[in-house]
C-alpha cells in the first residue's frame, strides 16, 4: 500500500474532511502544488480553485476560496476561508461573486488587485467546467 | 377582596404566560444545541489559525518591520471596544452582564486617560450604552436580519475594523463578549484582538514547533510577511466569529434558564392564586349557608 499522510480541510464553519490520503493537489497563490507524504514543512497561501484529494479507494474534489495550507512532517492542513464539496457548488452564487469581483477590481490596485484577479480567474474556471 | 371572576381571569392569564415562557424555553433549548454545535465545529479552524500565528510570531519577534496588526502601531492612546451583545431580550442577565463589563472597561480606560471608541454588535447593547456613551459609538451593527451566524458576517465586521486600524482611527482593539461555559454560567470577558495577542511565553520553539518539524525549517510561499499580512486580518475575523458563536450559545443558554425560571414562577403563582380562589369560593358558600340557616332559624 502506498504511503499516506494525514490531511484535514477546515473552514471557519466546520471541518470538511479529515483522514489519510495519498496525494493532494493544492492551488497556491504562486502556482499549483502537489503534496505527497514526507513533503518539506511549508506554509503557503492558496487562491480560489479546486483541491483534489487522492485516496487509496476514491478521489474527492473540493472547491476552496482563499486560505492557507500548512504542511508539517506529520500532517497537511488546509485552512480555507470558504470551502465546499465540488458537487455542492452553487452556480448562481458563483455568478454573483464574479460580478462583484469584477466591480471590485476596478477600484483596486497593486497587490489587492492581483489577488482579486486571481479570485476572479478561479471563479470563472469553476464555472467553465 | 377580589371577586371570584377576577381571580379566575388572573389564573387564566398567568396560565397563558406560562405557556409562552415554556414554549420559549423549548425553542431556546433547540437553538442552544444548534449554537453549541456550530461553536464546536468552528473550533478546529480557530485553533489552527492561532497555532500558525504563534509559530510565525515567534520568528517575527526580532524583525523590525513586522506587520502592525501583530505588533501594534506603537501607541495605546485610542481604544476601540467591540461590544457584542444579543439582538433580543428576555434572556436573563446576559446582555446586562456584557454591558456592565463594557462600562467597567470604559471607566478603567478613561481613568488612565485613554480615548475610547465603541463598535457595537447587537441591538441590546446599543440600547443600553447609547444613554451614557452615545458620543463614543462609531458603529452599531444589528444581526437581527441574519438567520444564522455565518463567517460572512464576521468577515464584514473584521474588514471594517482592519480598515479603521489602517486609517489610524484607533491603536488597540478589544472585543467584549460572553464566554459560554455551560448552560448555567456565562462570563463576560474582554480580549485584545489588535495587536494580535499571542502568548509568546507559550512559544518555546525548541519544544513545540521543532518537535513537530523534526528540526526542519518551514518554507513560506509567499514570504513570512506576505503570509502574515493575509493571515492576521483573517485571524481577527476568526476571533470575531468565535465571539459571535459563543455569544449565540450563551444567549440561548441564558434564555433557557431565564424562561425555565419564569415557567416555574408562573407555576407557583398559579398554585397560590388557585388556593385563594378556592378559599374565596369556600368562604362564599359558607356565608351563603349561614344566611340560609339563620334565615330558617328566624322563622
Per residue in B237-261, pLDDT (tens digit) is 888 998 999 899 999 999 999 999 9
Q: What is the pLDDT of residues B96-110, one digit of tens each?
A: 999 999 999 999 999
pLDDT of residue B208: 46
In angstroms, rounded to a whole number, what is the distance separating the alpha carbons of residues A75 and A19?
10
Is it the case that residue B92 has pLDDT exceeding 50?
yes
Structural contact between residues B161 and B194, judged by C-beta atoms closer than 8 angstroms? yes
Residues A71 and A42 in one domain: yes
Nearest-CB residue to B219 (from A29, A41, A68): A41
pLDDT of residue A31: 87
Q: Which residues of A touch B46 (CB under 8 A)?
A: 12
Q: What are phi and psi of B72, to 5 degrees?
A: 85, 170
Q: Which residues of B touch A29 (CB under 8 A)?
A: 221-222
If one counts the domains in chain A, the total is 2
Active-site annotation holds for B91 = yes
Residues A116 and A55 in one domain: no
In angstroms, rounded to a whole number, what is the distance separating the alpha carbons of residues B15 and B267?
8
Is it the case that residue A93 has pLDDT exceeding 70?
yes
In angstroms, rounded to a whole number, what is the distance separating the alpha carbons of residues A26 and A63?
11
* C-alpha cell belonging to residue B112: 488612565
A and B: number of Cβ contacts within 8 A: 79
Residues A51 and A106 in one domain: no
What angle, 0 to 180 degrees and rounded to 10, lies between the N-to-C axes of helices A110-128 and A91-107? 160
Element of type H or E holding A16: strand A15-21
Is it the case that residue A88 has pLDDT exceeding 70?
yes
Residues A111 and A69 in one domain: no
Is it the case that residue B1 has pLDDT exceeding 80?
no
Q: Which residues of B touch A77 (CB under 8 A)?
A: 48
How far B158 CA lies from chain A's nearest CA (Å)?
A: 13
Is it the case that residue B8 has pLDDT exceeding 90?
yes
Q: Which residues of A touch B39 (CB under 8 A)?
A: none
Q: Cβ–Cβ of B48/A72 closer than 8 Å?
A: no
Q: Cβ–Cβ of B45/A72 closer than 8 Å?
A: no
Q: Is B241 on the interface with A (CB under 8 A)?
A: yes
**Domain of A25, in residue numbers:** 5-87
Residues A28 and A71 in one domain: yes
Structural contact between residues A70 and A63, judged by C-beta atoms closer than 8 angstroms? no
Residues A12 and A71 in one domain: yes
Q: Is A74 on the interface with B (CB under 8 A)?
A: yes
Residues A57 and A78 in one domain: yes
Residues A49 and A78 in one domain: yes
How far B209 CA lies from chain A's nearest CA (Å)?
A: 9
Residues A119 and A77 in one domain: no
Q: What is the pLDDT of residues A97-106, one digit of tens each?
A: 888 888 878 8
Q: Which domains does chain B have, with CATH numbers?
A: 22-258 (3.40.1380.10)
Amino acid at each position: 500500500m502506498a504511503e499516506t499522510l494525514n490531511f484535514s480541510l477546515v473552514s471557519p464553519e466546520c471541518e470538511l474532511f479529515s483522514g489519510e490520503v495519498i496525494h493532494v493537489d493544492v492551488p497556491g497563490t504562486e502556482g499549483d502544488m502537489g503534496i505527497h507524504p514526507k513533503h518539506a514543512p511549508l506554509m503557503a497561501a492558496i487562491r480560489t480553485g479546486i483541491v483534489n484529494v487522492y485516496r487509496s479507494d476514491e478521489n474527492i474534489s473540493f472547491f476552496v476560496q482563499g486560505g492557507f495550507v500548512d504542511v508539517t512532517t506529520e500532517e497537511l492542513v488546509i485552512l480555507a476561508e470558504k470551502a465546499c464539496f465540488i458537487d455542492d457548488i452553487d452556480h448562481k452564487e458563483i455568478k454573483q461573486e464574479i460580478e462583484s469581483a469584477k466591480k471590485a477590481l476596478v477600484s483596486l490596485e497593486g497587490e489587492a488587485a492581483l489577488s482579486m484577479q486571481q479570485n476572479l480567474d478561479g471563479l470563472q474556471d469553476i464555472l467553465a467546467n | 377582596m377580589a371577586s371570584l371572576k377576577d381571580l379566575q381571569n388572573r389564573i387564566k392569564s398567568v396560565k397563558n404566560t406560562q405557556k409562552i415562557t415554556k414554549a420559549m424555553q423549548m425553542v431556546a433549548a433547540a437553538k442552544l444545541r444548534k449554537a453549541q454545535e456550530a461553536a464546536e465545529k468552528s473550533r478546529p479552524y480557530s485553533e489552527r489559525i492561532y497555532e500558525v500565528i504563534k509559530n510565525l510570531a515567534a520568528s517575527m519577534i526580532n524583525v523590525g518591520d513586522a506587520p502592525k496588526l501583530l505588533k501594534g502601531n506603537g501607541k495605546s492612546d485610542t481604544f476601540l471596544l467591540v461590544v457584542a451583545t444579543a439582538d433580543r431580550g428576555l434572556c436573563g442577565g446576559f446582555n446586562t452582564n456584557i454591558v456592565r463589563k463594557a462600562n467597567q472597561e470604559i471607566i478603567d480606560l478613561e481613568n488612565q486617560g485613554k480615548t475610547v471608541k465603541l463598535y457595537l454588535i447587537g441591538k441590546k447593547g446599543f440600547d443600553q450604552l447609547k444613554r451614557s456613551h452615545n458620543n463614543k459609538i462609531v458603529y452599531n451593527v444589528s444581526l437581527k436580519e441574519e438567520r444564522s451566524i455565518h463567517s460572512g458576517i464576521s468577515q464584514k465586521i473584521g474588514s471594517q475594523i482592519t480598515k479603521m486600524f489602517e486609517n489610524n482611527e484607533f491603536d488597540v482593539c478589544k472585543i467584549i463578549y460572553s464566554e459560554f461555559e455551560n448552560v448555567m454560567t456565562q462570563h463576560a470577558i474582554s480580549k485584545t484582538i489588535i495587536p494580535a495577542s499571542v502568548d509568546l511565553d507559550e512559544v518555546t520553539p525548541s519544544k513545540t514547533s521543532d518537535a513537530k518539524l523534526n528540526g526542519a525549517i518551514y518554507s513560506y510561499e509567499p514570504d513570512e510577511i506576505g503570509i502574515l499580512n493575509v493571515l492576521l486580518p483573517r485571524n481577527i475575523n476568526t476571533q470575531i466569529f468565535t465571539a459571535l458563536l459563543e455569544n449565540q450559545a450563551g444567549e440561548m443558554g441564558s434564555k433557557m434558564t431565564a424562561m425555565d425560571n419564569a415557567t416555574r414562577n408562573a407555576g407557583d403563582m398559579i398554585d397560590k392564586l388557585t388556593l385563594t380562589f378556592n378559599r374565596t369560593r369556600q368562604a362564599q358558600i359558607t356565608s351563603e349557608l349561614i344566611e340560609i340557616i339563620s334565615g330558617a332559624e328566624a322563622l
